[in-house]
Amino acid sequence: MAAGFKTAEPLEYHRSFLKENCRPDGRELSEFRTTTLNIGSISTADGSALVKMGNTTIICGIKAVKAPEDVPNVDLPPLCSSRFRPGPPGEQAQAASQFIADVIERCDRLLYILLSFHQMYLCWVLYCDIMCLDYDGNILDACIIALLAALKNTQLPEITINKETCTPEVNPAKRCGLHIHKHPVGASFCIFDGSILIVDPTAEEESLSTSQLTVVTDEAGRLCSLHKPGGTSLSGEKLQECISRATARQREIQKLIDKVIQSVKTAQ
Amino acid sequence: MEVCGSSNVSLREFGCEQSLLSRPDGSSSFVQGDTSVMAGVYGPAEVKVSKEIYDRAILEVLIQPKVGLPSVRERSQEQCVRETCEASLLLSLHPRSSLTLILQVLHDDGSLLSCCLNAACMALMDAGLPMSCLFCGVTCAITAEGEIITDPTAAQEKESRALMTFAIDSAERRVMMSSTKGSFSVHELQQCIAVSQKASEKIFQFYRDSVKRRYSKTH
């Protein structure tokens, strides 16, 4: 009977839960879904990470190419949800790609390995591909976590200059990691009926919400991005609430990533 | 052509013209300094059965850059403009219809997204579509020294440490849309929002004056 009510009147179904200050899947309004992280699963990539937040699954692979742009590409294939059709990337995938590019563009947290020898500068270009395997809402957060974890996991081969031919040579046997200075982590919220704020929305909640908001913070407490693509307006206090919740989330996720990287290192 | 001078919140000179195109139901051109955007609105019109929504109209936004084909950057700007317009239009008055908003960038000298939002709002007004509130776009840039500049030029945007665009609604002056680039502190964010709200007053006054002047001329 509840299933029938949910299909016929999805908004009323959600409202009846929100009145009791909880959500259909049993979470509190300000509770995130359990996040699990798995790194190094793709052996052919230089760095990879798989993130699961509830049902939402995002995988990120990084390939390093020696050449003269770091453009993250977010792919939402028909595999992850029935709302995406096959063909060229839709608006949501493109908007997500642009969002991730904006978050990391001015972050200057990657140390590009520069070699200067006889006025020759080389740098690595990292190609990041992010693919969604299961779409259950809140892909922007999961994409950022996957990208960050994959970058921490990336091992670049060492470059030496061959003295005789004066050209750079790649030594795939020796590898060194990247230095990451800043760790941006996002927290997404959505607003119901213009006033109720919920954290980490599922796909159903996203489709019924009147507005969505993503706040990306880094460990210094600075904001890297405040992305609110339209929707009903937001008051100053609600915005402040979101920012404090996002800062708390940043610390949790940073601990999770460090723990996973540490466990991989000790296992090797 | 209406022109309003810049003032102590230092917005560039802006101007606007409505009903300049004959084919669209509503059209406008908005100029901020050297940045200029033209908007055209078609609707409410027929919609493909695959796209229709049973209880409200569907809004499509297309942003055409000055040179080249629309790319990923234009898609994310389209998403921002579309969701802002959807929140302020009364879409449930036109179920199973489509509204199309096309924005053509004529010249980009900074603050492009806010110029697009302003042109969109004026075009929607010109088309006579029912709206619950008006909206305007304001761009703020934070320089490396920590100074806040409103309505930056392209050169100022390039040198800035952070760039933020807000859409402010006319009813309660709250933030409807926010798109930011670069890192900044919470205090700087709040300062920028306050500055944008002040700047929005000027823009809303300008909307009022230009519409008043236009209708007093024809009748």
Each residue of B124-168: pLDDT tens digit? 999 999 999 999 999 999 998 888 999 999 999 989 989 999 999
pLDDT in tens, A61-115: 988 776 544 557 788 887 778 778 788 888 888 888 888 888 776 554 444 444 3
| Distance (Å, whole) CA B150 – CA B180 | 14
| ipTM for this prediction | 0.82
Q: What would the mean pLDDT of B60-75 be, rounded to a whole number?
A: 91
Picking from A185, A194, A190, the residue whose alpha carbon sits closest to that of residue A229 is A190
Q: Mapping DSSP to helix (H, G, I), strand (E, B) and coil, where does residue A118 land?
A: coil
DSSP string over B152-217: --HHHHHH-SEEEEEEEETTT--EEEEEEEE-B-HHHHHHHHHHHHHHHHHHHHHHHHHHHHHHHH
Nearest partner of A78 among A135, A137, A144, A141, judged by Cα: A135
Give whichever of A101-105, A171-175, A207-211, B126-130 has the largest mean pLDDT: B126-130
- Among residues B216, B197, B27, B34, which one has the least CA distance to residue B122? B27
Q: Give the number of other Cβ atoms within 10 Å of residue B67's Cβ.
A: 7
Q: Which of A170-179, B45-54, B68-77, B99-108 has the highest mean pLDDT?
A: B99-108
Q: Pick from B196, B194, B133, B207: which is nearest to B166 by CA?
A: B196
User: What is chain B's Cα-based Rg?
Assistant: 17
Could you tell me which CATH class the domain B14-218 is placed in? alpha beta
Rounded distance between C-alpha atoms, residue A73 and residue A63, angstroms:
12
- Report how far residue A214's alpha carbon sits from residue A76's, in angstroms, rounded to the nearest whole number: 19
Task: Report how far Cα B158 is from the mean position of its chain's Cα atoms.
Answer: 21
Domain locations in chain B?
A: 14-218
For residue A218, the chain B residues in CB contact (below 8 A) are 183
Enumerate the β-bridge partners of residue B36: B31, B107
Bridge partners of A161?
A168
Please provide the average confidence, as pLDDT, over all residues in chain A. Answer: 81
- Cβ-defined contact of A223 to B181 (cutoff 8 Å): no
**Which of A105, A227, A239 is facing B179, going by the closest CB pair?**
A227
Q: What integer pLDDT is reported at residue B8 of this predicted model?
A: 47
Tokens, residue B20: 């300049």
Q: In DSSP terms, which residues pair with A130 in a beta bridge?
A: A60, A74
Q: Which of B84, B175, B183 sits opposite A223 (nearest CB)?
A: B183
- Written as one letter, the residue type at A49 is A
CA distance A172 to B58: 53
Q: What is the SS3 assignment for A150?
A: helix
Per-residue pLDDT tens over the stretch B183-203: 888 899 999 999 999 999 999
Q: Which of A227, A230, A232 sits opposite B82 (nearest CB)?
A: A230
Q: Is the separation of the CB atoms in A236 and B193 below 8 Å?
A: yes
Position A49 scores a pLDDT of 92
Least confident of A92-106, A171-185, B7-21: A171-185
Please report the pLDDT score of residue B44 as a whole number.
93
Q: Which residues of B touch A (CB under 8 A)?
A: 72-73, 75-76, 78-87, 161-162, 164, 167, 169, 172, 174-186, 189-190, 193
Residue B23 parent element (H or E): none
pLDDT: which is higher, B177 or B9: B177
Task: Give the minimum alpha-carbon distance from B27 to chain A in angstroms, rounded to a whole number.
Answer: 22
Cβ pair A106:B76 closer than 8 A: no
Distance from CA of B218 to the nearest CA of A (A): 35
- Check the CA dihedral A98-A104-A110-A113 and report its sign: positive
pLDDT at A113: 40
Q: Which domains does chain A have, with CATH numbers?
A: 26-267 (3.30.230.70)
**What does the longest C-alpha to C-alpha distance in chain A come to?**
79
Cα separation, B47 vs B66, whole angstroms: 28
Q: Which residue of B has its CA nearest to A226?
A: B180
Beta strands, E only, A68-217: 73-75, 115-117, 120-122, 124-134, 155-162, 167-177, 185-192, 196-199, 211-217
Q: Please list every residue in chain A whose beta carbon sits closer than 8 Å to the beta carbon of residue B73.
A: 98
Sequence-distant (≥ 6) Cβ neighbours of residue A5 within 8 angstroms: A12, A13
Examine the pLDDT at A164 and tell me if it is beyond 60. yes
Q: How far apart are CA A76 and CA A140, in angstroms?
A: 12
Which residues of chain A have a CB within 8 Å of the CB of B172?
233
Which residue of chain B is at minimal alpha-carbon distance from A244? Answer: B186
Tokens linked to A139 = 């892909």
Q: From edge to edge, which strands make up the β-sheet containing A211-217?
A: A196-199, A185-192, A211-217, A223-227
Pairing, β B58-64 against β B98-107: parallel
